[in-house]
């Protein structure tokens, strides 16, 4: 009756919880509760069942061959270890998310570069006190008045005033 697999990896639930975004909190909570339930069930079950006291039974039971037969069959019995079919699926899932994660990180880094550029532009702007209107239109292109589309003052639709 041997064959314990102690392949359990210690999971830091605190660190895991920190990294969960708000909209996935519910899923995380369900995962945690199921994991906790499973681990409590595991700890409640003994690792080995207690040994059967054959000598006592041999003494007390009158039928001669019964106990010996039971003992023989019991020690010959091999309980099959349950086959693990799901871990492969989990590994496949992990690989797929790895790809997505890498793509997201790349996109995120590109976005950060964009933001950094904008930030540098804002930080290196000349102070407003020293700007002329031309400089303002250069720094904030949306302030430029479209003199072709609206040739008459105020050069923008009246509703925008």
Partner 1 sequence: MLSRLALRAAPAALRNLSPCLSAGAVHAARSFHGSQPCAAPYPPLPEKAGAVRFGVIPEEFFQFLYPKTGVTGPYMLGTGLILYLLSKEIYVINHETITAVATLSLLIYGVKRYGPSVAAFAEKLNEEKLATVATVKNDSIKALETAIEEEKREQWRIEGRSYLFDAKRNNIAMLLEINYRERLLMVYNEVKKRLDYQIAMQRLKRRKEQDHMISWVESRVVQSITPQQHKESIAKCILDLKALSKAAQATV
Shorter beta-carbon distance to partner 1: residue 42 or 145: 42
d(CA 104, CA 98) in angstroms, rounded, equals: 10
Shortest separation between residue 7's beta carbon and partner 1, angstroms: 5
* Least Å from the CB of residue 159 to partner 1: 19
Sign of CA dihedral 141, 146, 147, 152: negative
The distance of closest approach from Cβ of residue 156 to partner 1 in the complex, given in angstroms and rounded to an integer, is 17
Comparing CB distances to partner 1, the nearer of 82 and 151 is 82
Continuous segment of H or E residues that includes residue 62: none
For partner 1, give the closer residue by CB, 97 or 156.
97
Find the helix or strand (DSSP H, E) in which 83 lies.
none
């Amino acid at each position: 009756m041997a064959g314990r697999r102690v392949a359990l990896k210690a999971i830091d639930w605190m660190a895991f919880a920190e990294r969960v975004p708000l909209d996935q909190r519910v899923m995380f909570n369900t995962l945690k509760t199921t994991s906790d339930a499973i681990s409590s069930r595991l700890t409640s079950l003994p690792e080995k069942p207690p040994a059967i006291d054959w000598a006592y039974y041999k003494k007390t039971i009158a039928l001669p061959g019964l106990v010996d037969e039971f003992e023989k069959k019991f020690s010959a019995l091999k309980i099959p270890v349950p086959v693990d079919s799901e871990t492969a699926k989990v590994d496949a899932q992990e690989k797929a998310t790895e790809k997505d994660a890498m793509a997201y990180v790349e996109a995120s880094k590109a976005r950060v570069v964009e933001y950094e550029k904008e930030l540098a532009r804002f930080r290196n702007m000349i102070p407003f006190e020293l700007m002329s209107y031309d400089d303002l239109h250069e720094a904030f292109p949306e302030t430029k008045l479209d003199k072709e589309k609206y040739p008459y003052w105020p050069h923008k639709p009246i509703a925008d005033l």
